Amino acid sequence: MMADDPLREAVLRRLALLDEAAGNADADTLLPLARSEITRLADGWRLLLTVHQQGADLRCQACPPGWGGFRGRRWPCQVWKMAHEHLIGEGVPHRERTKPLRNPFGKPGRVVPPESPAEVTTEIPVVR
């Protein structure tokens, strides 16, 4: 995946717009946006979690195999752990983030500086 991938840029631009709205929009703008986006985000989580269901072998059906060649990771996988942390657990409240989700580089549509290519990984970070 290239740093200038249009799909990636569109998703990151949308997330930046939502973060900006959450921090700065007035109630008349925020309420209709929240109503539509909460449904879309919930549907997205449901789809992601459906893909990461537990199989008969007690392993995630979507995560890549770990050591020993087993299909998938033990369930619950990191996707389910991350969902629990963000949706039910404490998570990180918007105002307490140490790094902003907004575009720190000042140009619309650019979320990484041109001299810093994006890292491509298939690993999901460990949530503790």
- Whole-number average pLDDT of the chain: 75
Distances, alpha carbon 87 to alpha carbons 16, 18, 69, 111, in Å:
20, 17, 31, 25
Q: What is the pLDDT of residues 37-70, one digit of tens each?
A: 999 999 999 999 999 999 888 888 888 876 555 5
Please check whether residue 74 lies inside any domain of the structure. Answer: yes
Q: What is the pLDDT of residue 73?
A: 75
Q: What is the pLDDT of residue 47?
A: 95
Question: What is the pTM for the complete model shown?
Answer: 0.57
Query: Given a cut of 50, is residue 109 above it in pLDDT?
Result: no
Q: What is the pLDDT of residues 16-39, one digit of tens each?
A: 999 999 889 898 999 999 999 999
Please check whether residue 80 lies inside any domain of the structure. Answer: yes
**Residue 16 and residue 106: Cα distance in Å, rounded?**
12
Please check whether residue 108 lies inside any domain of the structure. Answer: no
For the chain, how many structural domains are there in total? 1
What would the two tokens of residue 5 be? Answer: 């991938």
Q: Provide the domain limits for residue 72.
A: 54-93
Q: Which residue has the tokens 């840029």?
A: 9
**Residue 93 and residue 116: Cα distance in Å, rounded?**
28
Q: What is the pLDDT of residue 51?
A: 93
Please check whether residue 68 lies inside any domain of the structure. Answer: yes
**Residue 82 and residue 100: Cα distance in Å, rounded?**
19
Q: What is the pLDDT of residues 86-99, one digit of tens each?
A: 888 875 555 555 55
